[in-house]
Amino acid sequence: MPLLVMKFGGTSVADLARIKNAAQKVKREVERGYDVIVIVSAMSGKTNELVGWVEQTSPLFDAREYDAVVSSGENVTAGLMALTLQEMEVPARSWQGWQVPIRTTSQHSAARFLEIPRENLDAKFAEGFKVAVVAGFQGVSPEGRITTLGRGGSDTTAVAFAAAFAAERCDIYTDVDGVYTTDPRIASKARKLEKIAYEEMLELASLGAKVLQTRSVELAMRYKVKLRVLSSFEDTDETSGTLVCDEEDIMESKVVSGVAYSRDEAKMTLVTVEDRPGVAAAIFGPLAEAGVNVDMIVQNISEKDYGSHPGSVTDMTFSCPINQVARARKALEDAKAEGTIVYDDLVVDTEVAKVSVVGIGMRSHAGVAATMFKALAADGVNIKVIATSEIKISVLIDRKYMELAVQALHDAFALETAN
């Protein structure tokens, strides 16, 4: 019997009416001849509520108990979904992570998959059950404790099950009807993509597009799991949504597929750092140990007088999430106090945003950077930092120009049209 994995996010199961709506979509796939593994998130807002209760109870909480509490939201949804399906005369059973079992590492709140044995679910399908409803976001450690995978972990759970059970496809149901060329709330001409390559989706997810969780795309790309993103609130068929697939499955694509943005960025500059071997490691080592997620990095010759610094000096600029600025500042100041690094000043700009263009077509087409920079210049947008990869160009700009920049780039690359 062919198998399909269907994942429903928090907004898709926000109340009993929406759970029933999702169950009807599952029943439709069963009627088409599929066995179905359904992965569910907690009902919308429930995880935040549970996290709040933990923090109020114990500000310095035990991570093992944190996982025990916050994973309970998915358990409730799984049970309600199974009951709803049973009322529709669809043979269904709910499964918590430890019952499958979903075996993970012991890193609480950020566990990673080790193994998903098939035996228990396969046995139930063999008995005549058509649907296994599995609580997403959770697993069990080698010590037998409940673990969670980090926010957005239900997407990763769905892809992991699709890989483990060799599913025909993994459908991710959410509150949008697919992946767009950019955020439709910013660019009214944004167009839904029929297909997008894994690499492009991975870049867009990591750059701030919130349609799919980054780890889920990584896993899908590694195991060649076909992902489909579609809306829980619309009637769908085999052509609905956006298919995330291999580059080879896309006949032809535009040079640039999408424009992504992240408004919660900060730019930090170490002024007058000694330009010597090992200085970058001395700077970014403490930042890594402090858990700071460094993104764009630029090193340039300092304009300051070299008199107080024998030999050459440099300025080192990097970006990081704005909520990690305090942690980054402390790590650098501690390193300076210990004598690990020497710098004159630390300049922080928290009024910046990152805007990026992404496309696998960049590999074989020249002029993308020129088009991007001309479009921004034409609208008076100044670039502070530039970073590139094989299929991405990102710039750091003043946050007040972010929406203008997104619209300008969407127009410059004519993303409103398919060809």
pLDDT digits (tens, 9 = 90+) for 45-89: 999 999 999 999 998 899 999 999 999 999 999 999 999 999 999
Sign of the dihedral through C-alpha 275, 278, 284, 287: negative
Quote the distance between the C-alpha of residue 217 and its chain's center.
8
Annotated binding residue at 8? yes
Q: Is 354 annotated as a binding residue?
A: no
d(CA 196, CA 301): 40
Topology, domain 3-175: Carbamate kinase (3.40.1160)
175 is in an annotated binding site: yes
Confidence of residue 234 (pLDDT cuts 50, 70, 90): confident
One of 3.30.428.10, 3.30.1380.10, 3.30.2130.10, 3.30.70.360 is the CATH number of 248-419, namely 3.30.2130.10
According to the annotation, is 210 in a ligand binding site? Answer: yes
Judge contact between 402 and 355, C-beta under 8 A: yes
Q: Is 9 a known ligand-binding residue?
A: yes
- One-letter amino acid at 286 equals P
What ranges do the domains of the chain cover? 3-175, 248-419
Q: Which of 250, 259, 192 is nearest to 418 (CA)?
A: 192
> 157 among the known binding-site residues?
no
| Mean predicted confidence (pLDDT) in 228-255 | 84
66 is in an annotated binding site: no
For residue 336, what pLDDT band results from cuts at 50, 70 and 90? very high
130 appears as a binding residue in the annotation: no
Ranges 171-185, 254-268, 398-412, most confident: 398-412
Find out whether 47 is annotated in a ligand binding site: yes
Phi, psi of 53, deg, nearest 5:
-65, -40
Q: Is 239 annotated as a binding residue?
A: no
Cβ burial 318-339 (10 Å sphere, 16+ → b, else e): bbbbbebbeebeebbeebeeee
* Shared fold status for 3-175 and 248-419: no
* Cβ count within 10 A of residue 148: 26
DSSP category for residue 149: -
Would you say 10 is a known binding-site residue?
Answer: yes
On the question of pLDDT at 3 being above 80, the answer is yes
The model's pTM: 0.82
Does 174 count as an annotated binding residue?
yes
What residue type is assigned to position 367 of the chain? G
